[in-house]
Each structure stands twice: as structure tokens, then as C-alpha cells.
Chain A
């Protein structure tokens, strides 16, 4: 266990920022807090960093209660959204700051700083000032400045929000590789679902101060617990129905699914890519539908279907066109019953 938080509550006046949040991360795990702005994810990160106090609850670091330990005594380091590099210090001194403030001197500091700068490929710029760097370079330095202190947990607060889309993809991959190499616990805060899926071992989706679902990235995408999670990560078709013998009775007929629902009446979700085209009537969950719109998206076709107002993602080579009547199958393994 590397970082644990239990029953965290935090209010700002009338606004409930965090409500009974639990969070347990494993050592060496890349953990992501995902949600829209104002969902409380940054507040939770700041509580872990010691930059906020919870109203109640407990934060534990490697088994020790650190809830009321000052930020400067926690073995946790943060990469800030603004990077917050010290503008008056060179990159070298920025990275050395955490050691200098603990009165470390001499060759060991130089050695560690240079190693950290080399890790992010910035060693040749050690004498520059932050104002001479690009956004991506600043982000690397912020990362080196935090990691050089060998924290138990590294916290990253939307570290890629200031980068352009192309650079962001490259940095996501690098970040993931770095984390795997170091074997450290990373906790990332982001509102970007694609970023979360790319880098994380596990993701906690948050809404209005609560964790809605906490699961490995793949499970989260494939088995969202409710409509909110299903919608937040990618797109989903939602189909209302009632439990019946052998499946769920819906307006599209009886649908079979691998995991039967726990409810009597509720909703099913299915991803557009799990609705598949068939030349003939499929054996299970087959539907005869009409194509109302078909959009070419380069790598795929986005197809709108009636009845049921379904969205399907199909390979362009299928040549599906507006007005076609086609057979589709809703894959039984990908039909997920939602809670709530």
C-alpha cells in the first residue's frame, strides 16, 4: 500500500468539494483521478500533497497517518498545472531546490540533479532560466524537480493541459514509460478521458465530490457502472429495458447479455464499436435497421441507425450508406447493465 485516503470530506462554505471519498493505491501503480472541472479531483490531490486540509478523514502514506503533516514534511512531490518553476533560478537550481531546502550540499546534489535532468533530456539546458523554455520543456523540468527527491508518491495536477494536442500524445507515452521504469506510484489528475485511458493502471471517475467508479482502465471503459461513466469515457448507446427470461426485454426486442442485470427495470449500455454489421441475420441480438446518417471519419464510419436511435462505428470498407437497410448484432458480451 502506498497511499490511502479514507472517508475524506471537504466543504468550501456551502459547496461540497469532497464527500466521503476513499482511495487506495498500490505501490508502483499509475492511478488517475478523472472528472470534469469542479468535481473535486484537484482538491483531493491537494489534500494528498498537504496543500489543503480535509474537514474530516484520514490520509495515510506507506502506512503512516499524514493527514495533519505539513506539506514540507511529506514524502510526496507535485507537478503543478502551472509548473510553478522558480523564475529566478536556473533549471539546475530549480531541480536542486528540494535538496537545498533540506540543507543537502556537495557532489551528491550535483550528481542527482544531473541524473534527473538527463532523465527528462534537459541536461544541456541546465543553466537556462525557466522563461527561456517552451511549455513542454517546462513540464519536463517540473517533473525532474519533483522526481529528484525520490518521493513515495508523485502527484501530477493536469500536467499536460498547457501542451498542444500532438505534443500531449508524445508526453503521455513518455510519462507512462518513465513511471514503468521508475516503478513509482503516480497519481494523475485530468479531465481528459483519452489521456487517462492511455497512461493509467487504474482510474477513479469523480463527480460532484464523489468517486463514481474506481477500476482498471479497461474495465472502466468496457463495464461502466452507470450512465455518467459510460458517457464520460467515450460514447455509449443507452437502451432502457426490463429483466426477462434469458435477457432483457427492450423496445428493440429481447437482448441477450453475458452478465444478467441485478435490477428488474433499468438501462443497458453498449459502445458504438460493439454494434457490428452482418450480411445476414445474426444468431443472437440481431436487428434489422435503417441507416439514417453515415459520416466518414477517416479511420471509421459513424453510422446512425433507426429504430432505437443507435450509433454504430463501422469500418469504412463496408461501404454503408445513408438509406441502407442492414443487419446488425449487439454483441452480448459488450452489453452492460448500468446501475442507478
Chain B
């Protein structure tokens, strides 16, 4: 007779053990792949971050918290805020880039949602194309725009912001331009999904109550777009903190972010232990960011 061992699952007569075994066979290869090449290596980063760099750039398995104290600015030469400043700057840049993207994305989405339905696809495609264009190309394209021969740099030179004949990069300004251009589509696309489905009756109701534009936006529009906005912010803020290509090409040594610092340790400096420590710091910042975002959005986060 049937017992606890047998069950019918989606029409199939089987046992729980057999189902779990089959589910495992199906899920295991992909899961193990991620486990082996991301989850475990991430744990490995923790171990490596506590080792010491050997004289030739190899890992010496001598454990100490030195990499972290170094990150906090302590060294044999005394205290310096350089690394902390880089970390802070990364958060700062990510924050402002995200904010600017959000401020630009709302009008952009309203404008597109306001087109005739058959034309929206065209406008939406205009956002999607930069979204999928290679990041390196998009970053270096700014080098071109900001080159000394083009009007932007010439104009800045006339104003006396930069010397005659020099480009607008590397600079904080160039980094911001690159960041906003990179991430604007990341905010606009999820936001648009919400804006397109906006319930305008609420807006009309608010208008009837003689609400000002700001109040209409804040009470009738903004709450309806929170889910998309929250996804957009996550998709922007987290990668922006760790961004490497944009600051590398447009900021150079003048405007270093944590991404460049990590790359440097794994590249020219060959200091993996310190690189691992900086990576962990970025990971912590990311988790804090996700935490904050989750708390404020309640739901709709991607993670």
C-alpha cells in the first residue's frame, strides 16, 4: 500500500529520495561550477588577505593582520589616509553618479512613456543600445570627446579651467561623465517598466486637490516607481563602487578608485595579499549597500 515513501509529484509517481536525487543531478553541475570558481575563491580571498607578500610577489603563508592595518593607513612611515580616501571616494563617486542618473532617468522615462505606443520601442531601443555597447568603447569615446582639439576642451581653456591645448581628462569631471553615461541606461530601463504602467488617475486626483508639481511627484508618482527605481539603483550603485575601466581611462592616477587599487595589486604591484584585503573591503561595502537598499525598498531588490 502507499506509504510515506511514495508520493506523486507533478503527476509522477515517485519517492522524495528519487526526486531529490534527480534534482541534485540537474542542479549540481551549475551549482558546483559557481561554488568552485566563485564561492570558494571568495572564501580563499579571506585567507589570502591575511598572508604576506613575498619578495618576488609570491604569497608567503605567514599570517598577520598587516594588510588590513595597511588599508587603514598604518605603515612603518606613520599614518596616512590615502587608502581610506580611495575607499571613501569610491562610495562618494558611486553615490553622486547614481543620484545624477536617477535625476536624468525620470524625465527620460516620462518622455518615452509619453510617446505613441508604436514609437516607444524606437525610443526604448535608444536606451538599450548604449546599455549593450562595450564599456571600454564607451569610456574611451569620452577621451575623444574631451580631446584638446575638440570644442569642449577649447571652451574650458578659454574659461581658464585648463591650460590651452590640454584635454579635459584625466579628471574627476571626466570620471563623472563616464560614470553617468555608463549607468544611465541601467537606471532608466527598470524605471521605465514602472513608469509605463503608472496609474495616472492618482496624478489626476492629486491635481484636483491643487497639489503643486513637487507634491504630485512625491505623493502620486514616486511611490509607484519605487520597485523599478530600487532595481535601477542597485544595478548602478554596486557596480559603480567597483568600477575600474572608467576611472582607469578617464581619471588615471589623479582620480583613483578602489577598482583601480585592486587591479594595481593584481597587476603591476603583484601584491595579491593586499589586493585580496582591498577586495574584501569592497565586498563589505557592497553588502552594506545591498542591506541599505533592501531596508529602504522593502521589496523589489534584485538580490
Contact = CB atoms under 8 A, between A and B. Distances in A.
Interface in B9-31: 11-13
Interface in A71-100: 71-72
Given A70-B13, A71-B13, A50 B8 contact: yes
A115 to B, nearest CB: 27
Nearest to A78: B11
B13 A50 contact: yes
B6 A68 contact: yes
B81 interface: no
B2 interface: yes
A35 B2 CA distance: 27
Contact of B2 (A51, A55, A72): A55
A53 interface: yes
B103 interface: no
B14 to A, nearest CB: 9
Interface string A38-63: 00000000000011111110000000
A53 B2 contact: yes
A32 interface: no
A67 B1 contact: yes
Contacts of B13: 50, 53, 68-71
B62 to A, nearest CB: 56
B7 interface: yes
A50 B8 CA distance: 8
A51 B11 contact: yes
Contacts of A50: 8, 11, 13
B180 to A, nearest CB: 43
B6 to A, nearest CB: 6
Contacts of B2: 53-56, 67-68
Contacts of A68: 1-2, 6, 13
A72 B1 contact: no
B69 to A, nearest CB: 55
Interface residues of A, number: 13
Contacts of B1: 56, 67-68
A5 B183 CA distance: 64
A53 B11 contact: no
Nearest to B6: A53
A72 B8 CA distance: 12
A160 B6 CA distance: 32
Contacts of A54: 2
Interface in A220-260: none
A9 B173 CA distance: 74
A52 B12 CA distance: 9
A117 B186 CA distance: 50
B247 to A, nearest CB: 48
Contacts of A52: 8
Contacts of A69: 13
Nearest to A65: B1
A138 B11 CA distance: 22
Nearest to A47: B8
Residue of A52, A53, A54 with most chain B CB atoms under a 10 A cut-off: A53
Contacts of B11: 50-51, 71-72
Residue of B6, B11, B12 with most chain A CB atoms under a 10 A cut-off: B11
Contacts of A70: 12-13
Interface string B46-90: 000000000000000000000000000000000000000000000
A97 to B, nearest CB: 14
B11 to A, nearest CB: 5
A145 B144 CA distance: 65
A68 B6 CA distance: 9
A257 to B, nearest CB: 46
A56 B12 CA distance: 18
Contacts of B6: 53, 68
B217 to A, nearest CB: 39
Interface string A305-326: 0000000000000000000000
Contacts of A72: 11
A68 B12 CA distance: 11
A68 B15 CA distance: 12
Nearest to B13: A70
A56 B1 CA distance: 7
11 contacts: A50-B8, A50-B11, A52-B8, A53-B7, A54-B2, A68-B6, A69-B13, A70-B13, A71-B11, A71-B12, A72-B11
Given A53-B13, A55-B2, A68-B1, 13 more contacts: A51-B8, A52-B8, A53-B2, A53-B6, A53-B7, A54-B2, A56-B2, A67-B2, A68-B2, A70-B12, A70-B13, A71-B11, A71-B12
Which 8 residue pairs are nearest across A and B when measured between Cβ atoms? A70-B13, A53-B2, A71-B11, A53-B8, A52-B8, A51-B11, A68-B2, A53-B6
